[in-house]
Structure formats: C-alpha cells, structure tokens
Amino acid sequence: MKRVIAFGNPLLDTIVLLQDKSLLEKYNLDVDGQKEISLSEMEALKEDIKDYDKTVTAGGCAQNTLKILQWLLKKEYSVTMCGAIGGDSEGKLLEEILKQHGIEPHYIVHKAYPTGTTVSLVTNDNRSLVAHLGAAEIVPLQYIHGTDIITQIEQSDLVYMEGFFLTKRTKTATFILNHCTSHNKMFAFNLCGEYLVDSLPELVDEFLSQADIIFGNRKEFDKICSLKGVSVENFLTALSEHGRGKIIAVTNGPSAVMCFGHGESCVAQAPTLSTEEIVDTTGAGDSFAGGFLAGYLQEKSLKECLQLGCHAAYTIIKRRGCTVPEFSAS
C-alpha cells in the first residue's frame, strides 16, 4: 500500500447560502473576497448563522487535496494529515469527517486555542470567505520530534505541503523539506497564494528549489518571475531541469493547464462549463492537485496526470464547496 502524508491548516469549513447581503454588510465583507477575522468576530458570525441551512466539511488546502486524492484512489492508499486543532467540539468533528474520507488525522491538540474555521457566505454566484486560523498556526518543531511523524515521512511515498504552512511555522516546514531531501523522499509543494511570494520570497525560492512536484497558478508564477525579471516560460523550463529534475503544473483558471517535467512540456484543457454549471470555484486548485497526484501515484503519464487533475477540478466546481461526490471516479 502506498503512503501519503500531508502538512497544512486543518480547517472546519461551513458553507452558508444567503438570501441577501445584510450579513456581508454587517461584517464589512466583499461579495467575492477573502478575509481573516478575529475570534470574537467569528463567534459572533457563527451565532448569526446558527439557524441558516449550511454544509459543514473538512477544509484547508491540504485537506481538500487529500479528500480528492482518496476519492479518486477509492480510499485504497494510506493517507495521513498533520497539523493542529483546538481541544473543542469542532476539532473532534473535523477528525470524524476526515476519517470518513479515508484520511487518518495526526493532529496536535491545543486546548487553549480554537480549531481553525472558515465560513463561506454564498450569494448567487459569489462567495465571501472568512477565516480564523486559531490553533492551526501552532505547529512547533517539537511536535515533529515528539511523535512518529519523522518515521511516517520516511515510510511515505509522497510528502505534500500547502504553502500556507510556511507562515509562522518556518522552522517546522523547513525541517520537513530538508528531511525529505536528505532521505530522497518525493516532496510536493503548492504555492497557494501570491502574498506568500511577496512576504516570504527567499523561503519560497528554497521550497521551489528542493520540491519534486510544484503546483501553482499563473498569477503566482507571474509574481515570482516579475521579481526575478525573467519570463515565466524560461523560468519554468529552467526550474524543471534543476537538480534531479522536477515536475511543475501551472493552472490558469478556465485556460489550459501547463506542465513541465521529465524533459518535456504538455498542456491539457478541462471541458468548458456554462455559467449555470459553475456552482463554486472554492477548492478548484486544491482539487486539481489532488487529481494530478492521484495520477502520479498510479504512475500515469504527465498528460494523464493533467487530465485527471482537470477532471477533479471540473467535478468539484459544479458542487457547493470542496465536497466529494458519493460515487467513486472511474
């Protein structure tokens, strides 16, 4: 049985359908935006939506990717999620949901902090995402040394990390990266956001240099290349040939997805969706990564990995939130 271990922000996602914009106005939220809010604001928001119809699911980039991975692999692989939660009912619910997806939670529990949560306020075709990360941001290096995480890394076929894990956990993230490199472990990294490139440019460079598989969207790579003064195509080609070689997948919204690696480049185009078919683009990039990695673990060609990634993203954006269909994909 192949093994995958991932590191990221374990978040409990709540998706709420709104009839009007009154809640957005109350919390000064954009119709289609993202915002971190304080614990008191999150508690007040939860009170305001307690009687709304809602969908609750496991969220966060890495967890979204693992859900898609296990869906496509029919839960036949050993998959572990690492991170931190609070000692509350939300944390217990998150563990239960993850296990239903065939994912083993390996969380550190901080009793003095709340479990990280996000609320997606949906109005028509738009959604405003608010988050309070809480305990998710606290993963000290002692956690890695004080558990069997190092052993699990060494026994894994793939180690995956979301870019958000780099913030406030730099020592932990860097140790994991270096340990994978020194033990010849396949390491996959998702850039996750343009702001990471701006705020942590040297650290992002280090991860791009050492990672074996890299995911990012065109805007993120445009930001990197603008800082370096090079073209995206030349940068990606050179990066794919760096060291022992690496695979780089670049998404670009509804446009074709590009992939560089193994001395070649290829593209794939997801089926075109009508406006009516697009329900929620939340988690589309995470779903693509999950689909691509499912193909990679099954030793499919780069083209097939791209196609599987596009299939996953295509499926998820037709659903509310990053929720997995009941059936198994063929």
* Digit-coded pLDDT (tens) for 24-79: 999 999 888 888 899 999 999 999 999 998 889 999 999 999 999 999 999 999 99
* Residue 284 counted as domain residue: yes
* Residue 76 counted as domain residue: yes
Range of the domain at 143: 3-8+60-112+134-316
* Digit-coded pLDDT (tens) for 147-182: 899 999 999 999 999 999 999 999 999 999 999 999
Model confidence at 315: pLDDT above 70: yes
Distance of CA 176 to CAs 1, 5, 46, 49, 165, Å?
A: 22, 11, 35, 39, 11
* Residue 206 counted as domain residue: yes
Please report the pLDDT score of residue 276 as a whole number: 77
Please report the pLDDT score of residue 272 as a whole number: 81
- Counting the structural domains of the chain, the total is 1
CATH code of the domain covering residue 260: 3.40.1190.20
- Could you tell me the pTM of the whole model? 0.93
Please report the pLDDT score of residue 328 as a whole number: 46
Contact 130, 35 (CB under 8 A): yes
- Residue 277's pLDDT band (boundaries 50, 70, 90)? confident
Mean pLDDT of the region 261-286: 82
Model confidence at 3: pLDDT above 50: yes
* Residue 20 counted as domain residue: no
Which are the catalytic amino acids?
286
Please report the pLDDT score of residue 254 as a whole number: 83
* Digit-coded pLDDT (tens) for 88-140: 999 999 999 999 999 999 999 999 999 999 999 988 767 888 999 999 999 99
* Residue 266 counted as domain residue: yes
* Residue 123 counted as domain residue: no
* Residue 156 counted as domain residue: yes
Please report the pLDDT score of residue 181 as a whole number: 95
* Residue 310 counted as domain residue: yes
Model confidence at 243: pLDDT above 90: no
- Mean pLDDT of the chain, nearest integer: 91
